[in-house]
Chains A and B, each alone.
Chain A
C-alpha cells in the first residue's frame, strides 16, 4: 500500500516535471532587486514573459549593491554554468563583453531601433565592438542635491547653485544648530560626493579627462587640489557620527529635519515617498552645486549569458520585454530613476523625474552626459576602488589636499597595471 502510494507520487512528480519542461522555455535571471518596490516592478517583467509562455526562474542575490551578485555570477561563469541573463552595471557590461561571455542582441536592437531612443552615452556601455550586448533598464542620476524645503524657508535660504553658495548656506545652517549635510561615511557615498565636487568645480570636460579617461595631468592638476579642499570643507559640514552610516539613514536625517541637505542619487526618492513626503515640494531636488546642465548617470543593464542556440529565442524575447515602453515606464515609476528610452512621456512621473528628463536632453546636447565613477560607469573596478580608497582615506583623516592628489595619481596608475 505504502509502496504503491510512494510510487504513485513519484510518477506524478516525474510527469509534472516533464510537463513543465515541455510546455515552456525558461530564463534564469540573476539580479539584486530584492527590496519591496523593485521586486514588485520586476513582476511586470515576469508577467510579460509569462504571457509569451516563458517561465521566469528568479535568482536574486541581495547585498552590497550588487557586490554579492557579481561574486555569484563570476562563480557560475567560471564553473561553466552561467545564468541565462544577469543584471550588470555599465563597466561590468564592458568587462564581461571583453571576456567574451555576452550574447549578441544586435538583430533585436536593429529591429526595434533601440539606437534611436537610447542616449548615446548609455549606448556606449550597451554595445561592444559595434554589437549590442546588453539591454538598459533605467537611468539613475547620482548628482542630486536633496534639500529639506522647510528648513531652507525658515532660514531664508535659496538652493545653492555653486559650491561657494553651498558653503555659505551650510555655514549659516551650522550657526543655527542644524547639521548642514546628511552623509554616511562609506566609501561609495564619499565618492558619490566626490563625483559631484569634481564635476561642479572642474566642469564636464575636466570630469571626462580626470575621471573617465584617468589622464595623469588632470589628476594632478590644481583643480584636483581645489576638489580635495572642497571635500575637506564638506567634512566640516557633516555630523560627528557619520562614519559607516547607511545612505537611507542619512536620508532619514534629512526627512525628519535633523539635517538640511543630502548629496545622493535619485533612489533617495523611495525613502521620501515612504515618509509621506512629496519629492520636489517637501524635499527639493536640484542638481548638485555647479553641475547644472551636466548629468551623471548610472544604468542597470540586463546582459545575456549562456548563448547556445536553444536559448537564443527566449533570450531575445527577454531583451525585447526589457526594452518595451510598458516595462520601462512601470519599472522606473517604482525605482525612482527615469526610463532608458527617451521616447517615454514624463506625465505620470514625479516632479524630480520630469526635471531629470529635461536635464538629460539638455546634457546630451552639451555632450555633458557622463558616467558616474561611484556607481561603476567610469573606470574598471580596480581603478574605481583605488580611487575610493584615496577619497575615503582623505575624507576620514587630516590628509592634506596636495598629498591626496599625489596618492590619487599613484593609486590610479598602480591599479591600471
Chain B
C-alpha cells in the first residue's frame, strides 16, 4: 500500500517534467544554444564560414566604427520612437472611441485588426506602390488636377525612414487597439459611475481613472512594439530595401547583409549580439517587475 502510494507520488512529480523536457531541450539548443554560438562567433575572425579563432573584441570596435552601423542605429532610434509613440496613441484613441458602446462594434474592430493578419512583406509591397510618386498617391492627386502636389518621401533620403513608420503604424495600431480595448473592458463600471456622480468630466474620467488603470496593457504593448521595432527586417526590405542609398538601413538589415552577403560573419554576429542586448535591456526589467508583482 505504502509502496504503491509512493510510486504514484513519484509519477506525479515526474510526469510534468517528462512532458516538458523535450520542449526545454529544444529551446535550450535552438534558442540559448544558438545565442551562445552567435556570441562566440562575434569574438572570432569568421568571414564566409564560421571560424573558431578568437580575436577578442575587435569585431565590436570595427562595428561601432562603421558608418552604416551608425546610420542603422540612428534609423532605429527614429523609427522605434515614432512607431511606439504613434501606435500607442492611435491604438488608445481607437480603443476609447470603440468603447463608447457604438453600433456594429464587432465589424469595425475586425476592420482595424485586419492589417495585423498580413505579413510585413505584403504591407511593404503595397505601401511601396501607394507611396511611389510615379503610380501612387502623388500621381493620383496630380491626376485630379492638383498639379503641384508632391509626396515623394519614399524617394527622399531624409524622409524615407518616415515612410517605414507610416506602413508599420498602419499594420500594428489595430493590434494595440485590441490590447487597450481588452484593458478597458476590464475596468469596473461601478467606479466610473461613482466618479460621474461626483461630477467628474469625461476628460477627467479618462485622465484620472481609466488611463492609469491601463498600465498593464500599455506595458505589454510597449514591450511587444519595442521588440518588433528592433527586429524589423521584412518591412524595410520590401518597402525600400535600405534605400535610397543607405538611408533606411536598420540593424536587422545590417546584420543580414554583413553575415550572409558581405562574408563578414564576425561583424554580423557582433551586431546581432548588440541587438539582443538592446531587446534584453527592454524585456528584462519588464519581466522582473511582472514576476515581482506576482510573488
Instruction: State the A residues within 8 Å of B (CB).
Output: 67, 70-71, 74, 77-78, 95-96, 99, 185-187, 240-241, 243-244, 380-382, 385-386, 389, 392-393, 395-397, 407, 414-415, 417
Whether the pair A381, B263 counts as a contact (CB closer than 8 A) is yes
- Which residue numbers of B lie inside 8 Å of A, CB to CB? 47-50, 62, 65-68, 128, 132-134, 152, 154-155, 157, 240-241, 243-247, 257, 260-264
**B50: A residues at CB distance < 8 A:** 78
Q: What 17 new A-B contacts, CB under 8 Å, besides A241-B152, A382-B262?
A: A67-B260, A74-B49, A99-B48, A186-B243, A240-B152, A241-B132, A241-B133, A243-B243, A244-B155, A244-B241, A382-B47, A389-B67, A392-B246, A393-B245, A393-B246, A414-B62, A417-B62
A396 adjacent to B247 (CB under 8 Å):
yes
Which chain B residues border A78 with CB–CB below 8 Å?
49-50
Q: Which residues of B contact A381 (CB under 8 A)?
A: 261-263
| Residues of chain A contacted by B47 (CB below 8 angstroms) | 382
Known: A244-B241, A380-B263, A381-B263. A74 touches B246 (CB 8 A): no
Question: Pick the contact of A240 from B68, B155, B261 — CB < 8 Å?
Answer: B155
How far apart sit A389 and B66, CA to CA, in the bound complex (Å)?
11
* Across-interface contacts of B134 in A (CB, < 8 A): 241
In the bound complex, do residue B247 and residue A385 qualify as a contact, i.e. CB atoms below 8 Å apart?
A: no
Give chain A nearest CB distance to B201 CB in angstroms.
50
- A–B Cβ pairs within 8 angstroms, 6 of them: A70-B261, A99-B49, A240-B133, A385-B262, A389-B68, A414-B65
Q: How many A-B residue pairs have CB under 8 A?
A: 77
Q: For B261, what are the chain A residues with a Cβ–Cβ distance below 8 Å?
A: 67, 70-71, 381, 385
Residue contact A244 to B244, C-beta cutoff 8 Å: yes
Residue of A nearest to B257 (CB): A385
A residues less than 8 Å from B241 (CB atoms): 186, 244
The minimal Cβ–Cβ distance linking A254 to chain B, given in whole angstroms, is: 16
Contacts of A71 in B (CB 8 A): 260-261
Q: Which residues of A contact B66 (CB under 8 A)?
A: 414
Residues of A within 8 A of B155 (CB): 240-241, 243-244
When chains A and B are docked, how far (Å) is the Cα of A187 from the Cα of B7? 68
The interface residues of chain A, by DSSP majority, are classed as: helix
Q: Identify the 9 closest CB pairs spanning chains A and B, nearest first.
A: A396-B245, A243-B244, A243-B155, A385-B262, A396-B244, A71-B260, A241-B134, A393-B245, A381-B263
Tell me, rounded to whole Å, the shortest Cβ–Cβ distance linking A271 to chain B: 19
A243–B158 CA distance with the chains assembled, in angstroms: 13
In the complex, residue of chain A having the shortest beta-carbon distance to the beta carbon of B239:
A244
User: CA A144 – CA B217 in complex, angstroms?
Assistant: 59
Residues on B with C-beta less than 8 A from A243 are 154-155, 243-244
Of chain B, the residue at the smallest CB distance from A68 is B260
Chain A positions within 8 Å of B48 at CB level: 74, 95-96, 99
Give the residue among B66, B154, B244 with the most A Cβ atoms within 10 A: B244
**Which of the listed residues A77, A396, A407 has the most CB atoms from chain B within 10 Å of its own CB?**
A396
Q: How far is the CA of A382 from the CA of B259 in the complex (A)?
A: 10
B281 to chain A, nearest CB (A): 28
Interface contact A74-B244, CB-CB below 8 Å = no
Closest to B156 in A: A243
Given the known interface contacts A77-B49, A78-B49, A381-B263, the answer about A244 and B240 at a Cβ–Cβ threshold of 8 Å is yes
Within the complex, the shortest CB–CB distance from A111 to chain B, in Å, comes to 31
The answer on a CB contact under 8 Å between A396 and B263 is no
Alpha-carbon distance between A77 and B47 when the two chains are bound, in angstroms:
14
Query: Nearest residue in B to A396 (C-beta to C-beta)?
Result: B245
Chain A residues positioned under 8 Å from B243 (CB to CB): 185-187, 243-244, 392, 396
When distances are taken between beta carbons in the complex, the residues of chain B under 8 Å from A244 are: 128, 154-155, 240-241, 243-244
| Chain A residue nearest to B267 in the complex (CB) | A382
Query: Chain B residues near A380 (CB, 8 Å)?
Result: 263
Instruction: Give the shortest distance, in Å, between A70 (CB) and chain B (any CB).
Output: 7
> Nearest chain B CB to A61's CB is how many angstroms away?
13
**B247: A residues at CB distance < 8 A:** 396
A93 to chain B, nearest CB (A): 12
Query: Shortest beta-carbon distance, B44 to chain A, in Å?
Result: 14
- When C-beta atoms are compared, the residue in chain B nearest to A67 turns out to be B261
Could you tell me if A185 and B244 are in contact, using CB atoms closer than 8 angstroms? Answer: yes
A380 (CB) vs chain B CBs: closest residue: B263
Contact of B245 among A77, A99, A392, A415 (CB under 8 A): A392
Kindly provide the distance from the CB of A41 to the nearest chain B CB, expressed in whole angstroms: 26
